[in-house]
Chains A and B, each alone.
Chain A
Protein backbone atom coordinates (compact mmCIF):
# COMPACT_ATOMS: atom_id res chain seq x y z
CA UNK A 1 0.00 0.00 0.00
CA UNK A 2 1.69 3.21 -1.04
CA UNK A 3 1.43 6.91 -0.35
CA UNK A 4 -1.72 7.77 -2.38
CA UNK A 5 -3.79 5.03 -0.76
CA UNK A 6 -2.70 6.25 2.67
CA UNK A 7 -3.75 9.79 1.72
CA UNK A 8 -7.17 8.50 0.62
CA UNK A 9 -7.76 6.66 3.86
CA UNK A 10 -6.91 9.72 5.94
CA UNK A 11 -9.10 11.91 3.71
CA UNK A 12 -12.00 9.49 4.05
CA UNK A 13 -11.78 9.28 7.83
CA UNK A 14 -10.87 12.82 8.82
CA UNK A 15 -12.08 14.91 5.91
CA UNK A 16 -10.54 18.35 5.79
CA UNK A 17 -9.42 18.37 9.41
CA UNK A 18 -6.05 16.75 8.60
CA UNK A 19 -4.10 18.61 5.93
CA UNK A 20 -1.83 16.96 3.41
CA UNK A 21 1.76 18.14 3.77
CA UNK A 22 3.02 16.57 0.56
CA UNK A 23 5.83 14.04 0.36
CA UNK A 24 9.05 16.08 0.56
CA UNK A 25 11.42 13.13 0.65
CA UNK A 26 9.13 10.37 -0.49
CA UNK A 27 7.58 10.09 2.95
CA UNK A 28 3.89 11.06 3.18
CA UNK A 29 3.46 13.98 5.59
CA UNK A 30 0.28 15.15 7.33
CA UNK A 31 -0.37 18.36 9.28
CA UNK A 32 -2.56 17.73 12.32
CA UNK A 33 -4.07 20.03 14.93
CA UNK A 34 -3.07 19.30 18.56
CA UNK A 35 -6.56 18.30 19.69
CA UNK A 36 -6.82 15.66 16.95
CA UNK A 37 -3.38 14.11 17.29
CA UNK A 38 -4.28 11.25 19.64
CA UNK A 39 -7.25 10.23 17.48
CA UNK A 40 -5.15 10.27 14.30
CA UNK A 41 -2.39 8.25 15.92
CA UNK A 42 -4.81 5.67 17.26
CA UNK A 43 -6.47 5.34 13.85
CA UNK A 44 -3.12 4.90 12.11
CA UNK A 45 -2.07 2.25 14.62
CA UNK A 46 -5.26 0.20 14.74
CA UNK A 47 -6.61 0.32 11.19
CA UNK A 48 -6.09 -3.17 9.69
CA UNK A 49 -4.88 -1.81 6.34
CA UNK A 50 -2.37 0.62 7.83
CA UNK A 51 -1.03 -0.91 11.09
CA UNK A 52 1.50 1.78 12.00
CA UNK A 53 2.57 -0.08 15.11
CA UNK A 54 6.06 1.39 15.48
CA UNK A 55 6.71 4.97 16.56
CA UNK A 56 10.19 5.46 15.14
CA UNK A 57 10.87 8.99 16.34
CA UNK A 58 9.27 12.01 17.93
CA UNK A 59 10.96 15.37 18.21
CA UNK A 60 10.36 19.04 18.76
CA UNK A 61 11.31 21.78 16.32
CA UNK A 62 11.61 25.52 16.98
CA UNK A 63 10.79 27.76 14.03
CA UNK A 64 11.88 30.97 15.72
CA UNK A 65 11.13 33.79 14.82
CA UNK A 66 7.88 32.63 13.20
CA UNK A 67 4.60 33.21 15.07
CA UNK A 68 3.55 29.65 15.91
CA UNK A 69 7.10 28.58 16.61
CA UNK A 70 6.97 25.16 18.26
CA UNK A 71 6.20 22.01 16.32
CA UNK A 72 6.19 18.32 17.23
CA UNK A 73 7.09 15.85 14.47
CA UNK A 74 6.17 12.15 14.66
CA UNK A 75 7.77 9.50 12.41
CA UNK A 76 5.75 6.30 12.09
CA UNK A 77 6.59 2.94 10.58
CA UNK A 78 4.43 -0.03 9.73
CA UNK A 79 6.32 -3.29 10.21
CA UNK A 80 3.81 -5.57 8.39
CA UNK A 81 3.40 -3.24 5.35
CA UNK A 82 6.90 -1.67 5.25
CA UNK A 83 5.54 1.85 5.04
CA UNK A 84 6.60 5.16 6.64
CA UNK A 85 4.64 8.32 7.43
CA UNK A 86 5.26 11.63 9.15
CA UNK A 87 2.88 13.70 11.27
CA UNK A 88 3.50 17.33 12.10
CA UNK A 89 1.67 19.24 14.79
CA UNK A 90 2.09 22.94 15.60
CA UNK A 91 1.97 23.33 19.35
CA UNK A 92 1.28 27.03 19.82
CA UNK A 93 2.99 29.37 22.25
CA UNK A 94 3.11 28.39 25.19
CA UNK A 95 3.39 24.92 23.64
CA UNK A 96 0.92 22.24 24.76
CA UNK A 97 0.19 18.95 23.01
CA UNK A 98 -1.73 15.86 24.22
CA UNK A 99 0.50 12.91 25.03
CA UNK A 100 0.46 9.78 22.85
CA UNK A 101 1.92 7.62 25.62
CA UNK A 102 -1.22 5.50 25.72
CA UNK A 103 -0.96 4.73 22.02
CA UNK A 104 2.74 3.76 21.94
CA UNK A 105 4.64 3.19 25.19
CA UNK A 106 7.86 4.35 23.58
CA UNK A 107 6.59 7.94 23.46
CA UNK A 108 7.37 8.25 27.18
CA UNK A 109 11.01 9.29 26.98
CA UNK A 110 10.65 11.05 23.62
CA UNK A 111 8.12 13.39 25.21
CA UNK A 112 10.30 13.94 28.24
CA UNK A 113 13.14 14.90 25.92
CA UNK A 114 10.95 17.34 23.96
CA UNK A 115 9.85 18.89 27.26
CA UNK A 116 13.41 19.18 28.53
CA UNK A 117 14.83 20.65 25.35
CA UNK A 118 11.95 22.89 24.19
CA UNK A 119 9.52 23.27 27.08
CA UNK A 120 6.62 21.59 25.24
CA UNK A 121 4.02 20.43 27.78
CA UNK A 122 2.41 17.03 27.13
CA UNK A 123 -1.05 16.64 28.71
CA UNK A 124 -1.64 13.20 30.08
CA UNK A 125 1.98 12.19 30.46
CA UNK A 126 2.42 10.25 33.69
CA UNK A 127 5.82 11.59 34.69
CA UNK A 128 6.87 14.73 32.82
CA UNK A 129 10.23 15.83 34.21
CA UNK A 130 13.61 16.71 32.85
CA UNK A 131 15.61 13.89 31.39
CA UNK A 132 18.92 15.31 30.13
CA UNK A 133 19.51 18.44 32.17
CA UNK A 134 19.58 18.44 35.95
CA UNK A 135 16.39 19.19 37.88
CA UNK A 136 17.22 22.77 38.90
CA UNK A 137 18.30 23.86 35.40
CA UNK A 138 16.50 26.92 34.11
CA UNK A 139 15.72 27.44 30.49
CA UNK A 140 15.18 25.15 27.53
CA UNK A 141 18.48 24.54 25.70
CA UNK A 142 17.39 23.70 22.15
CA UNK A 143 15.31 26.86 21.70
CA UNK A 144 16.81 29.16 19.13
CA UNK A 145 17.13 32.03 21.59
CA UNK A 146 19.18 29.99 24.08
CA UNK A 147 22.92 30.52 23.52
CA UNK A 148 24.98 27.56 22.34
CA UNK A 149 27.66 27.99 24.99
CA UNK A 150 25.15 28.53 27.76
CA UNK A 151 25.48 31.13 30.45
CA UNK A 152 28.77 31.89 32.17
CA UNK A 153 29.41 29.93 35.33
CA UNK A 154 32.24 28.17 37.14
CA UNK A 155 32.23 25.24 34.71
CA UNK A 156 32.13 27.09 31.41
CA UNK A 157 33.94 30.44 31.36
CA UNK A 158 33.09 30.91 27.66
CA UNK A 159 29.36 31.24 28.18
CA UNK A 160 27.33 34.37 27.72
CA UNK A 161 26.74 36.72 30.61
Chain B
Protein backbone atom coordinates (compact mmCIF):
# COMPACT_ATOMS: atom_id res chain seq x y z
CA UNK B 1 0.00 0.00 0.00
CA UNK B 2 3.02 2.27 0.19
CA UNK B 3 2.47 5.60 1.89
CA UNK B 4 -1.02 4.70 3.04
CA UNK B 5 0.10 1.78 5.13
CA UNK B 6 -0.19 1.90 8.92
CA UNK B 7 -1.02 5.57 8.96
CA UNK B 8 -4.47 6.18 10.18
CA UNK B 9 -6.14 5.98 13.54
CA UNK B 10 -8.91 3.52 14.30
CA UNK B 11 -12.27 4.66 13.13
CA UNK B 12 -15.32 3.25 11.38
CA UNK B 13 -14.28 4.25 7.88
CA UNK B 14 -10.78 2.81 7.98
CA UNK B 15 -11.85 -0.34 9.81
CA UNK B 16 -14.36 -1.05 7.04
CA UNK B 17 -11.80 -0.36 4.33
CA UNK B 18 -9.33 -2.61 6.16
CA UNK B 19 -12.00 -5.27 6.40
CA UNK B 20 -12.59 -5.14 2.65
CA UNK B 21 -8.89 -5.22 1.83
CA UNK B 22 -8.30 -8.14 4.18
CA UNK B 23 -11.30 -10.01 2.80
CA UNK B 24 -10.04 -9.66 -0.72
CA UNK B 25 -6.55 -10.78 0.25
CA UNK B 26 -7.63 -13.82 2.20
CA UNK B 27 -10.12 -15.00 -0.42
CA UNK B 28 -7.52 -15.29 -3.16
CA UNK B 29 -4.40 -16.75 -1.58
CA UNK B 30 -2.20 -17.96 -4.41
CA UNK B 31 0.60 -20.29 -3.31
CA UNK B 32 3.58 -21.16 -5.45
CA UNK B 33 4.12 -24.82 -6.34
CA UNK B 34 6.94 -25.47 -3.93
CA UNK B 35 6.76 -29.07 -2.84
CA UNK B 36 10.06 -30.36 -1.59
CA UNK B 37 9.48 -33.84 -0.14
CA UNK B 38 6.73 -36.15 1.13
CA UNK B 39 4.46 -33.34 2.30
CA UNK B 40 4.26 -32.23 -1.33
CA UNK B 41 2.22 -35.31 -2.14
CA UNK B 42 -0.32 -34.43 0.53
CA UNK B 43 -0.32 -30.85 -0.75
CA UNK B 44 -1.09 -32.10 -4.25
CA UNK B 45 -3.80 -34.34 -2.79
CA UNK B 46 -5.23 -31.29 -1.03
CA UNK B 47 -5.36 -29.49 -4.34
CA UNK B 48 -7.06 -32.32 -6.19
CA UNK B 49 -10.72 -33.20 -6.42
CA UNK B 50 -11.43 -34.76 -3.03
CA UNK B 51 -10.06 -32.08 -0.71
CA UNK B 52 -10.54 -29.29 -3.18
CA UNK B 53 -8.53 -26.20 -2.30
CA UNK B 54 -9.86 -24.20 -5.22
CA UNK B 55 -13.07 -23.47 -3.33
CA UNK B 56 -11.02 -21.35 -0.90
CA UNK B 57 -9.64 -19.31 -3.76
CA UNK B 58 -6.32 -21.12 -3.67
CA UNK B 59 -4.78 -21.53 -7.13
CA UNK B 60 -1.24 -22.85 -7.45
CA UNK B 61 1.03 -20.54 -9.42
CA UNK B 62 4.33 -21.69 -10.91
CA UNK B 63 6.25 -18.48 -10.35
CA UNK B 64 7.05 -16.80 -7.02
CA UNK B 65 6.54 -13.38 -8.57
CA UNK B 66 2.84 -14.10 -9.02
CA UNK B 67 2.12 -15.70 -5.67
CA UNK B 68 1.50 -14.45 -2.18
CA UNK B 69 1.76 -17.61 -0.13
CA UNK B 70 4.67 -20.00 0.23
CA UNK B 71 3.88 -23.44 1.62
CA UNK B 72 7.18 -24.99 2.66
CA UNK B 73 6.26 -28.64 2.30
CA UNK B 74 9.13 -30.92 3.22
CA UNK B 75 12.61 -31.02 4.70
CA UNK B 76 14.75 -27.96 4.04
CA UNK B 77 18.40 -28.94 3.69
CA UNK B 78 21.39 -26.66 4.09
CA UNK B 79 22.07 -26.90 0.35
CA UNK B 80 18.55 -25.75 -0.43
CA UNK B 81 18.22 -23.06 2.25
CA UNK B 82 19.66 -20.14 0.22
CA UNK B 83 17.19 -20.92 -2.54
CA UNK B 84 14.24 -20.86 -0.13
CA UNK B 85 15.40 -17.44 1.04
CA UNK B 86 15.80 -16.27 -2.55
CA UNK B 87 12.28 -17.43 -3.44
CA UNK B 88 10.89 -15.69 -0.38
CA UNK B 89 12.63 -12.48 -1.39
CA UNK B 90 11.21 -12.76 -4.89
CA UNK B 91 7.64 -12.80 -3.64
CA UNK B 92 5.94 -9.40 -3.65
CA UNK B 93 4.36 -8.13 -0.45
CA UNK B 94 1.96 -8.91 1.22
CA UNK B 95 3.30 -12.42 1.59
CA UNK B 96 2.77 -15.21 4.08
CA UNK B 97 4.48 -18.50 4.82
CA UNK B 98 3.00 -21.79 6.00
CA UNK B 99 5.45 -24.37 7.32
CA UNK B 100 3.86 -27.72 6.53
CA UNK B 101 5.03 -30.86 8.26
CA UNK B 102 7.41 -31.42 11.15
CA UNK B 103 10.49 -31.29 8.94
CA UNK B 104 9.69 -27.73 7.91
CA UNK B 105 8.79 -26.71 11.47
CA UNK B 106 11.77 -28.16 13.32
CA UNK B 107 13.76 -30.54 11.19
CA UNK B 108 11.57 -33.51 12.09
CA UNK B 109 13.29 -36.81 12.78
CA UNK B 110 16.32 -35.65 10.78
CA UNK B 111 18.70 -34.03 13.27
CA UNK B 112 21.69 -34.50 10.96
CA UNK B 113 24.59 -32.69 9.34
CA UNK B 114 22.63 -31.53 6.34
CA UNK B 115 19.16 -30.54 7.54
CA UNK B 116 18.07 -27.09 8.69
CA UNK B 117 16.37 -27.46 12.06
CA UNK B 118 13.28 -25.49 11.20
CA UNK B 119 12.47 -23.05 8.44
CA UNK B 120 12.06 -20.31 11.07
CA UNK B 121 15.83 -20.00 10.82
CA UNK B 122 15.46 -18.87 7.19
CA UNK B 123 12.11 -17.15 6.65
CA UNK B 124 9.48 -15.76 9.06
CA UNK B 125 6.64 -18.27 9.36
CA UNK B 126 2.99 -17.42 9.99
CA UNK B 127 1.29 -20.79 10.46
CA UNK B 128 2.79 -24.14 11.44
CA UNK B 129 0.88 -27.24 10.34
CA UNK B 130 2.16 -30.26 12.26
CA UNK B 131 2.07 -33.86 11.08
CA UNK B 132 4.27 -36.28 9.24
CA UNK B 133 2.79 -35.75 6.73
CA UNK B 134 -0.23 -33.67 7.82
CA UNK B 135 -3.46 -34.85 6.29
CA UNK B 136 -4.88 -32.65 3.55
CA UNK B 137 -7.62 -31.67 6.02
CA UNK B 138 -4.92 -30.41 8.38
CA UNK B 139 -3.43 -28.30 5.62
CA UNK B 140 -6.87 -26.87 4.87
CA UNK B 141 -7.26 -26.05 8.56
CA UNK B 142 -3.90 -24.28 8.43
CA UNK B 143 -5.01 -22.23 5.44
CA UNK B 144 -8.25 -21.30 7.19
CA UNK B 145 -6.29 -20.21 10.28
CA UNK B 146 -4.11 -18.09 8.03
CA UNK B 147 -7.24 -16.55 6.54
CA UNK B 148 -8.41 -15.66 10.04
CA UNK B 149 -5.05 -14.10 10.79
CA UNK B 150 -5.21 -12.04 7.61
CA UNK B 151 -8.73 -10.87 8.41
CA UNK B 152 -7.55 -9.50 11.75
CA UNK B 153 -4.51 -7.69 10.42
CA UNK B 154 -4.21 -3.92 10.21
CA UNK B 155 -3.46 -2.51 6.77
CA UNK B 156 -4.40 1.17 6.70
CA UNK B 157 -4.83 1.54 10.40
CA UNK B 158 -1.91 2.20 12.64
CA UNK B 159 -0.71 -0.64 14.84
CA UNK B 160 -1.48 0.77 18.28
CA UNK B 161 1.01 -1.42 20.17
CA UNK B 162 3.90 0.20 18.36
CA UNK B 163 2.78 3.76 18.88
CA UNK B 164 5.36 5.91 20.56
CA UNK B 165 3.83 8.60 22.66
CA UNK B 166 5.77 11.82 22.45
CA UNK B 167 5.60 14.12 25.35
CA UNK B 168 6.54 17.70 25.30
Contacts and interface: CB of A to CB of B under 8 A. Distances in A.
**Do chains A and B make direct contact within the complex (CB under 8 angstroms)?**
yes
Interface of A: 132-134, 141, 146-151, 153-159
A149 B112 contact: yes
A100 to B, nearest CB: 28
A141 B114 contact: yes
A134 B113 contact: no
Contacts of A150: 112-114
Contacts of A159: 113
B117 A158 contact: yes
B112 A155 contact: no
Interface in B27-82: 78-79, 81
Contacts of A155: 78, 81, 116-117, 121-122
B79 A156 contact: no
Contact of A133 (B114, B116, B117, B122): B114
B115 interface: yes
Interface residues of B, number: 13
A151 to B, nearest CB: 8
A155 B69 CA distance: 23
B111 interface: yes
B121 A154 contact: yes
20 contacts: A133-B79, A134-B78, A134-B79, A148-B112, A149-B112, A149-B113, A151-B113, A153-B78, A154-B121, A155-B78, A155-B81, A155-B116, A155-B117, A155-B121, A156-B113, A156-B115, A156-B116, A156-B117, A158-B117, A159-B113
A159 B113 CA distance: 7
A69 B143 CA distance: 52
Nearest to B117: A156
